[in-house]
Structures are given as structure tokens and as C-alpha cells.
């Protein structure tokens, strides 16, 4: 990438076993390419790149973790014709804790704070910290930006952030997640339907292996289903969502389960996987549903809890103007959208079955009081915007 004055911005979005990346022009915010590593740490890891001009690259690689994948990516970028010079990298960081409530330039203090709060998100922060440290060593002249998923919810009302715990537990509050996704949905609604649409009473459902809902009004988060950690809220692929805290003592006494084993269970063995006993993949569960009662139970519970959250958020908002589905399930599972919306006619939600099956941008009927949308989210676009804005601030200050 050396030898050019065209400034480029890289975004890195790490999942539990994947790493998405995108390369943007810093002056325009348009992507040159996108790609990802799938199945990190397993046999059959794939490195995929998709250029804006339609070219594709698919390569089998050996990458045991996110840092190994980054090494492969940077080696490839050094040789690739990317028409520019990398000046900044944005990292999706799941949790900012009580101190970091907006996207920030990475420095030693930020790294230290993430290390201090690592138990706020033990499933995510260790890998994210490792990627930050690797990038700082590998490319010391490139600005590193932390893009916090919790930042979108920083202005939630106090009553929505409070946990009913003794006040002495500082930092124990409801933070909320999937903020980058929700930020994109707001922008997309504003682009498509004007500024007023983004200020209406919105309920957004980001449904994927990790899943949450958010209530938004006047462009701000009012409430969200996830809480102190991403394990709270509705059931997910392998996460419980909200459960009775009395289970901690019960399972400790009956199963000898300590805190570490309990944490592993609620994050890795529960949710759709735990209820079905077979899979965390909703596609597999839908295929098995006709003959497998446990798969049917898992799907029914998933839809029920989403419907329950929509009802609760409608009460908080004092009504609903738009319902938005996004995420891998929200964007691609019309049957789930149908079941979630069934019975919500009293709220003014009327689904057009044909438009829903076709996966159109609006799947409600023309007479529905509530507009129901399907929007493909783009967390990387929001990260690129944040990185470019902070890069400009740094340039002005220097």
C-alpha cells in the first residue's frame, strides 16, 4: 500500500470465529473492498475478498485466531494493489465500560482500561485487545480507533440504565450493544424516508447468532434488550438471554457448577442450541422443525421473546411508528418475521405475506399503521465514518 498519497481507512470487525474487514477511501468514505475470515481456529478457514469492481478472491488459509488472521491480512494488503496508503484502522470494540461512551483514539490509557474491564465482556474483549495491540506494533504510524458498540446507548434514560443492585457496585449498569448496527439503521431510514423517519418511535430488531432489540425515539436509544453483557435479553444462538439469577445458586448446589462453568454455559451452551439440543443455526432448526419437537420449541421461544420485547418497548415509547428487522436472521428468515409479527395487529402492524417472502425493503401492507422494514445492516460503514471523523480531528490538531 506504500507509495501513494491516497489515504485509506481499514475497519476490523471481529466475531467469535470470524473477522470481517473493509478498506475505504478516507476522502470519500466509499469501500474499495470488503472481506472476511470464516471458521477461525478450525479446519477449513477461508479468506474471502470482494472488490467494488466485482472481482472476488477465495483462499483457504491457516488462522488459529484473530491475530493470525490479521497477520495474513496485512501481508496480503502489503502486496495487493490497493491504490493508497493506510492511515487509520477502526476496531469494533464490544464494550466501553463506564469510561468510554464514544468512539476514541487508541492509546495506552484506553488499552489499560479495556484490560481492567475485561470481565465486562470476557467472550469478546480479550481477542479485541489482542488485535489492538497487534495493529499498534505492526503499523505504529497508523492511527488506531476504537469504535464502541455501547456508544449508541450512552444517552439512555437513567431508569433504563439502572440495575436493581446495591449502589456500591460501581459500573454495574445496563450498557446495551449492537450500537454500530443501530446507528446504520437510523442513517438508512433518514436517507430513504427523510429526517422525520429517524425521529419517529422505532423498534429495531438485530437478529443473528447474537440478537437484541432497541427502542429508539428522536434518534436516541431509549431502551434495549441487552444489559451489562451481551448475554442478556432475548435467547440467542448459544446465549440464554434473561434468566432467573437464582439459577446460579441452584446449579452450584445441584451440579457443582462454579462461576466460570456457569458463564460458559450461558454464553456457549444455551439459547437455541440448549433448547433444541442439536443446533444454534436457525436454518437447521427450521428444516428440522416438522419432525423435531425440541427444534420447534427453540424457534417458538425465540419468536415469543422477540414479540414480548416489542410489546414492552411499545409501552416504553408510547406507541410504535416503524419496526425494523436486520441481522442474518432478521434479513433472511421471512418465516421468523411472520411469526414475530403475528398477533401484533393490535399495535397497528399488518404484514404483507408476499412482500415478506420476497424480502422487500418494506414488508408491511399499504394500510398498515406501522411500517415494517427489512434493512441490511452495515456496521463497517459506521466504523469508517467514525474513523474518518476522528482522523480529521487529529489532522486539525497536529
Q: In angstroms, how far apart are the furthest CA atoms of the chain?
A: 65
85 neighbors 7 (Cβ within 8 angstroms): yes
Of residues 34, 39, 74, the one with CA closest to residue 60: 39
Location of C-alpha cell 472476511: 36
Location of C-alpha cell 480479550: 126
Residue 260 backbone dihedrals phi, psi, to 5 degrees: -65, -45
281 neighbors 336 (Cβ within 8 angstroms): no
Give the C-alpha separation, 31 to 51, whole Å.
8
Q: Is 352 a catalytic residue?
A: no
Active-site pick, 53, 149, 242, 297: 149
363 neighbors 337 (Cβ within 8 angstroms): yes
Alpha carbon 324 to its chain's center: 15
From residue 129, alpha-carbon distances to 41, 146, 185, 186, 198 in Å are: 18, 10, 27, 29, 33
Write the Ramachandran bin of 386: left for phi over 0, alpha for psi from -120 to 50, otherwise beta.
alpha
88 neighbors 124 (Cβ within 8 angstroms): no
Active-site residue list? 149
Amino acid at each position: 500500500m506504500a507509495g501513494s498519497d491516497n489515504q485509506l481507512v481499514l475497519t476490523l470487525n471481529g466475531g467469535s470465529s470470524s473477522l470481517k474487514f473493509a478498506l475505504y477511501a478516507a476522502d470519500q468514505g466509499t469501500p474499495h473492498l470488503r472481506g472476511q475470515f470464516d471458521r477461525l481456529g478450525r479446519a477449513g478457514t477461508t479468506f474471502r475478498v470482494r472488490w467494488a469492481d466485482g472481482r472476488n478472491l477465495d483462499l483457504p488459509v491457516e488462522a488459529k485466531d484473530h491475530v493470525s488472521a490479521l497477520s495474513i491480512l496485512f501481508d496480503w494488503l502489503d502486496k495487493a494493489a490497493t491504490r493508497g496508503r493506510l492511515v487509520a484502522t477502526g476496531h469494533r470494540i464490544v464494550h466501553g465500560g463506564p469510561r468510554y461512551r464514544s468512539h476514541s483514539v487508541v492509546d495506552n490509557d484506553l488499552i489499560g482500561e479495556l484490560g481492567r474491564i475485561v470481565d465486562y465482556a470476557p467472550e469478546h474483549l480479550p481477542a479485541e485487545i489482542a488485535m489492538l495491540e497487534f495493529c499498534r506494533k505492526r503499523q505504529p504510524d497508523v492511527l488506531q480507533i476504537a469504535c464502541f458498540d455501547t456508544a449508541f446507548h450512552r444517552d439512555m434514560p437513567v431508569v433504563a440504565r439502572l440495575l436493581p443492585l446495591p449502589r456500591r457496585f460501581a459500573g454495574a449498569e445496563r450498557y446495551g450493544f449492537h450500537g454500530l448496527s443501530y446507528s446504520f439503521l437510523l442513517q438508512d431510514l433518514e436517507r430513504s424516508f427523510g429526517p422525520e423517519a429517524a425521529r419517529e418511535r422505532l423498534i429495531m430488531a438485530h437478529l443473528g447468532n447474537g440478537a437484541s432489540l432497541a427502542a429508539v425515539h428522536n434518534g436516541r436509544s431509549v431502551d434495549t434488550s441487552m444489559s451489562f453483557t451481551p448475554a442478556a435479553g432475548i435467547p440467542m444462538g448459544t446465549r440464554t438471554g434473561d434468566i432467573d439469577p437464582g439459577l446460579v445458586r441452584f446449579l452450584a448446589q445441584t451440579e457443582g457448577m462454579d462461576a466460570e462453568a456457569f458463564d460458559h454455559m450461558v454464553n456457549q451452551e444455551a439459547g437455541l442450541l440448549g433448547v433444541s439440543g442439536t443446533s444454534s443455526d436457525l436454518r437447521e432448526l427450521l428444516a428440522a422443525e416438522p419432525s423435531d419437537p425440541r427444534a420447534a420449541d427453540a424457534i417458538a421461544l425465540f419468536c415469543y421473546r422477540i414479540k414480548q420485547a416489542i410489546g414492552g418497548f411499545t409501552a416504553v415509547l408510547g406507541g410504535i411508528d416503524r419496526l425494523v428487522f436486520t441481522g442474518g436472521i432478521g434479513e433472511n428468515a421471512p418465516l421468523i418475521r411472520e411469526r414475530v409479527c403475528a398477533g401484533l395487529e393490535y399495535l397497528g402492524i399488518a404484514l404483507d405475506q408476499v412482500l415478506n417472502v420476497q424480502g422487500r425493503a418494506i414488508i408491511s401492507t399499504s394500510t398498515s399503521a406501522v411500517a415494517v422494514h427489512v434493512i441490511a445492516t452495515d456496521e463497517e460503514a459506521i466504523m469508517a465514518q467514525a474513523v474518518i471523523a476522528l482522523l480529521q480531528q487529529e489532522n486539525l490538531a497536529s
